[in-house]
Chains A and B, each alone.
Chain A
Amino acid sequence: MPAIVQVSDVVKRYESGFEALKGVDLEIEEGEILALLGPNGAGKTTLISTICGISHPTSGTITVSGHDVVKNYRKARALIGLVPQEIALEPFETVWNSVSFTRGLFGKAKDDAYLESILRQLSLWDKKDAQTKELSGGMKRRVLIAKALSHGPRILFLDEPTAGVDVELRKDMWEIVGKLKQDGVTIILTTHYIEEAEAIADRVGVINQGQILLVEDKATLMAQMGRKQLRIALQEPISAVPECLGSYTLEIAPEGDALVYHYDTTNDRTGITTMLNDLQSAGLTMTDLKTQESSLEDIFVDLVKEQS
């Protein structure tokens, strides 16, 4: 698929000299859901702000559907909707006026029927005449989403959309994201919740200290995650795997007091039962058993740790 957003060697340096982005390359494919993971201060929001036009890159280029976001900002920005991380709404403005305002800013003519459909989809229709200050935190976030969708964007950026949001709204939000994807909207979201990325993303990117560490298909990552290990603690330390256990993928733990068995949960047979039987007949006494699964979180933590 063609890249709808192309980020090439983008550096963002602030006046203080701090480099928030250190040469970021990223291709976002049309119609995909890309989850950007990263710790606080990793540069997630800076990257989104730079793509959306809130700040300009110090160097490097960004194109949206072929339009440079600085030189040809009108065409680039018209395609984008942004839901910011912080809730920012005019307190005395009504929901309807707020959403209409955003649509106007994006150069679109009034279309009450379209706005109504968005507000209904986000369960905001009965609140349309309420001032935004009267709304709960979750409702305010819905208004931000409605504003971002008010001009029918082809690309939607969600910056930490589920931070501080209750379970129900989170569920609703993923339902909406799913629907938008069906309509062909490209979605980029940043999140702290790794399960969330696992649940809805097509691809996952990890960013830390202003650098993209990895962008991978979720399926590829899941394949890595499918591997499990069984750790067998032994009463007596051993120095070599007994010969009769040679057919198993066994390793001795560094201290020699445990064996580690790797297996694949996606296989029909894991071989655990026969291995344990053989272990017993080899005369080894087990004191404990522990299984471990490598998750996206492990990969993420490893990557971030490796870098720092």
Chain B
Amino acid sequence: MNLQAIKAIYVHEMVRFFRTLMQSFLSPVLSTSLYFVVFGAAIGSRIDQIEGVSYGAFIVPGLIMLSVMTQSVSNASFGIYFPKFIGTVYELLSAPVSFLEIVIGYVGAAATKSFFIGVIILVTAHFFVDLDIQHPGAMLAFLVLTCLSFSLFGFIIGIWAGNFEQLQIIPLLIITPLVFLGGSFYSITMLPGIWQTITLFNPVVYLISGFRWSFFGTADVPIFASLLAISAFTAICLAIIWWIFRTGYKIRS
């Protein structure tokens, strides 16, 4: 294992994040605050408690998930796409580095960044609502797993993308709708019958539900289903990455 190389990639990526500190960390804080003002204060005051939790608090896990998922995908995809775009990828290919080490470096850095964003949003939320996290251990585990699996997913998109449009299209057309429709801002029990069933095909529902359970002890779907969903998603991403590694897809001619 070339640990120095993993460290070099990780540090290189983290330096890039800190170079764009405002964009990286300030924008999630700002958008979260806006969500709280609009949903929590303006609309939330007219909504009753959901499953015994005030609406302002209820949306916190969904908001964190929304940012963590989109940020993981965009950071990890950009991280590996940019060297391909500007040509510096030659360095990765000609260095004594395995594909696994490249993945650990890039995905590790992207996941670290989105983990911090998740924590920052959680802290910001504390200024707006009272939060009493019932299962802190499970909360951390869900957060870390989501950061990792969506960063893996982003890495795959970054390898696949041939231009900037393709890089944006998956987060825009798939991740954002799935998260919005996955119960970030409502409980799926609030939906009419048929839509409850359809919603269960949205994998993000399981992730948000599990994450919310760790906060409030209530969930839309059983907790083991949530665990299964996040494990399955991680496993699929790892399998695709293993396939990319075997075939050299879009990396090495």
Interface residues of A (CB under 8 A from B): 14-15, 52-56, 73-78, 80, 82, 84, 86, 88-93, 97, 100-109, 147
| Cβ A92 vs Cβ B19 within 8 A | yes
List the 8 shortest-distance A-B pairs measured between CB atoms, nearest first: A104-B8, A88-B87, A105-B95, A74-B96, A77-B96, A52-B94, A107-B2, A54-B93
Q: Which of B63-91 contact A (CB under 8 A)?
A: 82-83, 86-88, 90-91
Distance of A209 Cα from B4 Cα, bound (Å): 40
A-B contact pairs, 15 of them (CB 8 A): A14-B253, A53-B94, A54-B252, A56-B252, A56-B253, A82-B94, A84-B87, A92-B19, A93-B12, A101-B12, A104-B5, A104-B12, A105-B91, A106-B4, A106-B96
CA distance in complex: A74, B3 (Å): 13
Q: Which residues of A contact B252 (CB under 8 A)?
A: 54-56
- Quick one: which of B88, B92, B93, B95 contacts A89, CB cutoff 8 A? B88
A77 to B98, CA, bound (A): 11
Q: Which chain A residue shows the least CB distance to B253?
A: A55
Query: Smallest distance from the beta carbon of A52 to chain B beta carbons, Å?
Result: 4
Answer whether residue B9 sits at the interface, using C-beta atoms and an 8 A cutoff: yes
Residues of B within 8 A of A108 (CB): 4
- In this assembly, does B169 line the interface, its C-beta being within 8 Å of a C-beta of chain A? no
A106, B5: Cβ atoms closer than 8 Å: yes
Residues of B at the A interface (CB closer than 8 Å) are 2-5, 7-9, 11-12, 15-16, 19, 82-83, 86-88, 90-98, 248, 252-253
Whether A107 contacts B5 by the Cβ 8 Å rule is yes
Chain B, residue nearest A151 (CB): B95
Q: Using Cβ atoms and an 8 Å threshold, which residues of chain A touch B2?
A: 74, 105, 107
By the criterion CB–CB under 8 Å, are A82 and B90 in contact?
Answer: yes
A56-B252, A105-B95, A105-B97 given; A88·B90 CB < 8 A: yes
Q: How far is the CB of B63 from chain A (nearest CB, A)?
A: 30
Cβ–Cβ contact A106 & B86, under 8 A: no
**Could you tell me if B94 and A104 are in contact, using CB atoms closer than 8 angstroms?**
no
With A52-B94, A107-B96: A88-B88 Cβ-Cβ less than 8 Å = yes
Given contacts A15-B253, A90-B88, 5 further A-B contacts (CB under 8 A): A77-B94, A90-B83, A97-B15, A105-B4, A107-B2
Residue from B4, B88, B94, B253 having most chain A Cβ neighbours under 10 A: B94
A105 touches B93 (CB 8 A): no
Decide: B86 and A105 in contact? CB cutoff 8 A.
no
Take A101-B12, A106-B5, A107-B4 as given contacts and tell me if A75 and B86 are in contact as well, using a CB distance cutoff of 8 Å: no
Q: Which residue of B lies closest to A78 (CB)?
A: B96
Once bound together, how far apart are the Cα atoms of A89 and B248, in whole Å? 23
Q: How far is the CA of A86 from the CA of B89 in the complex (A)?
A: 12
Bound complex: CA of A86 vs CA of B86, how far in Å? 10
Q: B98 — nearest CB in chain A belongs to which residue?
A: A74
How far, in angstroms, from A54 to B253 measured CA to CA in the complex? 8
Q: B253 — which chain A residues lie within 8 A by C-beta?
A: 14-15, 55-56
Evaluate contact between B11 and A104: CB separation under 8 angstroms. yes
Q: Which of B8, B9, B86 contacts A90 (CB 8 A)?
A: B86
Do A75 and B96 have beta carbons less than 8 Å apart? Answer: yes
Minimum C-beta distance from A97 to chain B (A): 6
Query: How far, in whole Å, are A284 and B194 apart by their CA atoms in the complex?
Result: 110
Contact assessment for A54 and B4 in the assembled complex, using a CB-CB cutoff below 8 Å: no
Asked if A73 and B96 make an inter-chain contact with CB atoms under 8 angstroms apart, the answer reads yes
A100/B90 in contact, CB under 8 A: no
User: Cα distance A150–B227 when bound, in Å?
Assistant: 45
CB <8 Å contact, A91 and B91: no
Identify B9's interface contact among A78, A103, A105, CB under 8 A: A105
Chain B residues within 8 Å of A91, by CB: 86
B243 to chain A, nearest CB (A): 17
Question: Could you tell me the distance in whole angstroms from the C-beta of B246 to the nearest C-beta in chain A?
Answer: 13
Q: Could you say which residues of chain B place their CB within 8 Å of the CB of A77?
A: 94-96
B19, B90, B96 — most chain A CB neighbours (10 Å): B96
Whole-angstrom CA separation of A86 from B90 in the bound complex: 10
Q: Are B90 and A84 in contact (CB under 8 A)?
A: yes
CB contacts (< 8 Å) of B9 on chain A: these are 101, 104-105
Instruction: Say whether A105 contacts B5, CB under 8 Å.
Output: yes
The docked-state distance in angstroms from the alpha carbon of A147 to that of B12 is 14
